C-alpha cells in the first residue's frame, strides 16, 4: 500500500469512527475528521464527557460495521441541501457557509448508512482491509478550528496502517517514544524549564541545556565555514512594512507578534523569520557579479504566535532559534551552492547516524493563490532542482503542495533511532524575494540583474532539534555533545587534591568535567553519574593518585576501558571534540 492509498484508508476510517460514535451518542455533533501521519482523528461536541474507557466499545462497533462499507459514493449537493441535512450542527453549518461563500462545491460521501460532507479521497472497499490494522488510541481536548476562543471539543485519535503487523510495530515504537519523551528527560537531566511568569512556549535553557545549544550550533558552523559562509547579525524586530513587502504579512498575519510603541507611529513586529532582514543586508550596497555568491549565516530567534493548545515541549514553541543562512548568487551558481548545502547536510546527519531520504517539495498547480510568482518562475525553479538531484544521483519523492510560498525546496527527511521520520534540513530556491525587494547586481555585460536567493536550514529549529536529540539518544548523548563529559568520583577525601589537579588539566583541554568529592559512598557516586547519563565516570583512589592507569566507566557499556595517565587527557579531548 503506497502513501496515497494509506492516506485514503485513514481518511475512510475517520468516517467509520464517526459512524460508530453516532450510534452510541446520537446527539453528538461531528465536526472534522482528517487523516494524519500515523492514523486519523475526528472531533466531536458531546453533550456530556466521555472517557478513554469507552474507546473499546466504539472500536468494536467500527469492526462490526466494516463489512458493510464496500464503497464510498459521492454526490454534489447544493449549499441549501447541505444546510438542511446538517441543520442541527452549527460546526458543519459554519463550514458549509464558508465553502459556499468561496464558491466551492459541496460533496456528500456515503458508505454503509453513514453520510458526511467531504472532499473525497477514500479506500475503494473498506471491507477488504485487515480488520486489525487500526485501533483507537486516546482522547484529547481540541478547540474548534484550533482557536482557543472557540468551543472545546473531544478529539478521538486512531492509529492505522496497512496491516496489523505494521500497526503493532508502530505501537511498540510509541511506547519507546514515551520512555524517551524529551519533556520528561529534559527535566530529569536539568536541560530546560518553562515558567508561567515567562509564558507558554518560551523555554528557558539551563547551563547544561545551553551546552547542547552551543555544541550543535558550533558543529553546524564548523561544517559551513569552509564553504565561505559569513556571520551576520540582525535585530529581533522590524517594521511591518518589511514583511508586507516580502509577502509574509499576507501569508502569516495570524502568527505575528505585534509590538506597540508610544514614541513612534511606525508599526513594529517581532520577526517571524529572518530572510527579509538578510535581503536588506544585501541591498545595503551595490553588488557586482564578482561579489557573488554571498553567503549570510546567523543563529537567531524568531517568534510565532502559536495557539496555546498547539504548544508541545520543545517541539512547538513561540520562540524559535533558527540555524539560518541565505545565499545570494547568480543563476549559473545555483546548482553548485545547493550541492554544497546538501554536502553539509549529509555530513551533519552522518554524525548522528541518522539516515536521510529526499523529497522535492513543489507547488500545487491547483492553488496558484497560495504562492508568489508566476508559472514560468516556478517551472524554472522546480526544473533547476530536478536537474540538480539528477546530477547528484539522488532518489527522491515529489511532495506536491509542500513547497514554501516563495519557491520549491529539497527537503531532507531524517530517521531517528526508533524509526520515526523528521523533516529538518532543507534547501529552498527563491526567485520571488529578490524580485519583491528589487535586489540587483551588475553583471559582466554591465546590465543590472536579479540574484537568486537560496534559503537553507541544517538542523532547523534549535529547540525542536534538541528535543529530537534527547529522544534520539534517550538522554545518553555522545561525549562531544554531552553537557557533562567526565565525572571524577573520589574514593575518599584524601584523594580530592589529586582529583582537582586532574580536573584542571581536563578543563584546560576544553573538556566539561565535574568532581564528586562528597562524603557519599563510592557506589552511590557511580550510580548518580549513571542516572545523569554522564559518558565517562573516572574513580580516583590510591592507585590512581600514585600514577596508575585510569579505569573509565562508560555509560551504556558493560566493560570498563583502561587508559594510561600519560594518554588520558589527550584521549579524552579527542573523544570530546566536535565530530568534524
Please, what are the domains in the chain?
3-174 (3.30.980.10), 187-472 (3.30.930.10), 486-576 (3.40.50.800)
Query: In the structure grid, which three cell numbers stand for residue 17, read together?
Result: 469512527
Using alpha carbons, select from 277, 333, 292 the residue that is nearest to residue 440: 292
Only one residue has cell 459541496, namely 106
Q: Give yes or no for a contact between 143 and 150, defined as CB atoms under 8 angstroms apart.
A: yes
Mean pLDDT of 64-68: 92
What mean pLDDT comes out for the span 318-346? Answer: 95
Average pLDDT of the segment spanning 559-564: 95
CA–CA gap between residue 431 and residue 226 (Å, rounded): 26
- The answer for residues whose C-beta is within 8 angstroms of residue 557's C-beta and 6 or more apart is none
Res. 309: pLDDT tops 90: no
Total residues belonging to the chain:
580
Q: Are 527 and 553 in contact (CB under 8 A)?
A: no
Please compute the mean of the pLDDT values over residues 432-457 and round it to a whole number.
95
- pLDDT band at residue 406 using 50, 70 and 90 as cut-offs: confident
For 270, the grid coordinates are 517581532
Q: Is the pLDDT of residue 579 over 80?
A: yes
Measuring CA to CA, which residue among 538, 456, 459 is closest to residue 491? 538
Q: How confident is the model at residue 121 (pLDDT cuts 50, 70, 90)?
A: confident
Report residue 27's pLDDT band, with 50, 70 and 90 as the boundaries: very high
Residue 2 has pLDDT above 90, yes or no: no
Residue 147 pLDDT level (bands cut at 50, 70, 90):
confident
Distances (CA, A) of 564 to 80, 448, 544, 567: 84, 65, 10, 5
Per-residue pLDDT, 485: 97
pLDDT for position 3? 79
Collapsed DSSP state (helix, strand, coil) of residue 230: strand
Are the C-beta atoms of residues 30 and 116 closer than 8 Å to each other?
A: yes
Structure confidence at residue 127 as a pLDDT band (50, 70, 90): confident
Say if residue 41's pLDDT is above 80: yes
| Burial of 351 from C-beta contacts in 10 A (0-12 / 13-18 / 19+) | middle
Q: Please identify every residue annotated as catalytic.
A: 275, 304, 322, 324, 326, 409, 455
- Going by C-alpha positions, the residue among 3, 69, 13, 19 that lies closest to residue 40 is 13
Q: What's the confidence (pLDDT) of residue 524?
A: 96
CA separation for the pair 580, 574 (Å, rounded): 11
* Confidence band for 229, pLDDT divided at 50, 70 and 90: very high
Note the pLDDT of residue 519.
93
The residue-averaged pLDDT of 462-484 equals 97
Q: Are 310 and 316 in contact (CB under 8 A)?
A: yes
Res. 490: pLDDT tops 90: yes
Q: What is the C-alpha separation between 541 and 550, in angstroms, rounded?
A: 10
The helices-and-strands tally (H runs, E runs) of the chain is: 18, 28
Residue 224 has pLDDT above 80, yes or no: yes
Strands 536-540 and 486-490: parallel
| Residues 6 or more apart in contact with residue 54 via CB below 8 angstroms | 24
Query: What does the mean pLDDT of the chain come to?
Result: 93
Bridge partners, 427 (sequence order): 410, 456
Please give the pLDDT value at position 149: 87
Q: What angle do CA 321, 323, 324 make, to 5 degrees?
A: 110
Q: How far apart (Å, rounded) are the C-alpha atoms in residues 166 and 125? A: 20
Q: Is the pLDDT of residue 334 over 90?
A: yes
Looking at 30-44, 108-122, 530-544, which range is the least confident one?
A: 108-122
Cα–Cα distances in angstroms (integers) from residue 33 to residues 10, 30, 154, 203, in the given order: 10, 8, 12, 32
Amino acid at each position: 500500500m503506497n502513501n496515497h492509498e494509506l492516506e485514503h484508508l485513514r481518511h475512510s476510517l475517520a468516517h467509520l469512527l464517526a459512524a460508530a460514535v453516532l450510534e452510541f451518542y446520537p446527539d453528538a455533533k461531528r465536526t472534522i475528521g482528517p487523516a494524519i501521519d500515523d492514523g486519523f482523528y475526528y472531533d466531536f461536541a458531546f453533550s456530556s464527557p466521555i472517557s478513554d474507557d469507552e474507546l473499546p466499545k466504539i472500536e468494536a462497533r467500527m469492526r462490526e460495521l466494516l463489512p458493510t462499507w464496500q464503497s464510498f459514493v459521492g454526490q454534489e449537493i447544493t449549499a441549501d441541501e447541505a444546510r438542511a441535512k446538517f441543520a442541527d450542527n452549527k460546526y458543519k453549518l459554519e463550514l458549509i457557509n464558508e465553502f459556499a461563500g468561496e464558491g466551492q462545491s459541496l460533496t456528500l460521501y456515503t458508505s454503509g448508512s453513514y453520510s458526511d460532507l467531504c472532499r473525497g479521497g477514500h479506500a475503494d472497499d473498506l471491507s477488504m482491509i485487515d480488520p486489525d490494522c487500526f485501533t483507537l488510541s486516546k482522547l484529547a481536548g481540541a478547540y474548534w478550528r484550533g482557536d482557543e476562543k472557540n468551543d472545546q471539543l473531544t478529539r478521538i485519535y486512531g492509529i492505522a496502517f496497512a496491516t496489523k503487523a505494521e500497526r503493532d510495530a508502530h505501537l511498540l515504537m510509541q511506547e519507546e517514544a514515551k520512555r524517551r519523551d524529551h519533556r520528561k528527560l529534559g527535566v530529569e537531566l536539568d536541560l530546560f524549564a518553562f515558567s508561567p511568569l515567562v509564558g507558554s512556549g518560551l523555554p528557558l535553557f539551563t547551563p547544561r541545556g545551553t551546552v547542547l545549544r552551543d555544541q550543535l550550533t558550533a558543529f553546524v558552523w564548523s561544517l559551513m565555514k569552509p564553504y565561505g559562509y559569513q556571520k551576520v547579525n540582525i535585530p529581533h524586530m522590524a517594521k511591518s512594512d518589511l514583511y508586507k513587502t516580502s509577502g509574509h504579512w499576507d501569508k502569516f498575519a495570524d502568527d505575528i507578534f505585534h509590538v506597540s510603541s508610544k514614541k513612534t507611529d511606525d508599526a513594529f513586529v517581532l520577526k517571524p523569520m529572518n530572510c527579509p532582514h538578510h535581503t536588506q543586508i544585501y541591498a545595503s550596497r551595490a553588488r557586482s557579479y564578482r561579489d557573488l555568491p554571498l553567503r549570510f549565516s546567523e543563529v537567531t530567534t524568531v517568534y510565532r504566535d502559536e495557539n496555546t493548545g498547539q504548544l508541545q515541549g520543545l517541539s512547538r514553541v513561540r520562540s524559535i532559534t533558527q540555524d539560518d543562512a541565505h545565499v545570494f548568487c547568480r543563476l549559473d551558481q545555483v546548482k553548485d551552492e545547493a550541492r554544497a548545502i546538501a554536502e553539509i547536510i549529509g555530513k551533519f546527519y552522518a554524525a548522528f547516524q541518522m539516515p536521510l531520504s529526499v523529497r522535492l517539495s513543489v507547488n500545487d498547480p491547483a492553488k496558484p493563490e497560495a504562492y508568489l510568482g508566476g508559472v514560468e518562475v516556478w517551472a524554472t525553479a522546480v526544473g533547476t532542482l530536478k536537474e540538480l538531484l539528477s546530477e547528484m544521483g539522488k532518489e527522491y519523492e515529489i511532495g506536491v503542495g509542500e513547497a514554501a510560498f516563495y519557491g520549491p525546496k529539497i527537503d531532507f527527511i531524517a530517521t531517528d533511532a526508533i524509526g520515526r521520520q523528521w523533516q529538518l534540513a532543507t534547501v529552498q530556491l527563491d526567485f520571488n524575494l529578490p524580485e519583491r525587494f528589487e535586489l540587483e547586481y551588475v553583471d559582466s555585460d554591465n546590465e543590472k540583474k536579479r540574484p537568486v536567493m537560496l534559503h537553507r536550514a541544517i538542523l532547523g529549529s534549535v529547540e525542536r532539534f534538541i528535543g529530537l536529540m534527547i529522544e534520539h539518544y534517550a538522554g545518553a548523548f555522545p561525549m562531544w555533545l554531552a553537557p557533562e563529559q567526565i565525572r571524577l568520583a573520589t574514593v575518599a577525601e584524601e584523594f580530592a587534591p589529586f582529583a582537582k589537579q586532574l580536573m584542571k588539566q581536563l578543563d584546560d583541554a576544553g573538556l566539561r568535567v565535574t568532581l564528586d568529592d562528597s562524603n557519599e559512598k563510592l557506589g552511590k557516586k557511580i550510580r548518580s553519574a549513571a542516572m545523569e547519563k554522564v559518558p565517562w565516570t573516572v574513580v580516583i583512589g590510591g592507585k590512581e593518585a600514585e600514577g596508575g592507569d585510569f579505569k573509565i566507566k562508560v555509560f551504556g557499556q558493560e566493560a570498563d576501558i583502561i587508559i594510561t595517565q600519560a594518554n588520558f587527557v589527550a584521549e579524552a579531548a579527542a573523544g570530546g571534540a566536535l565530530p568534524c
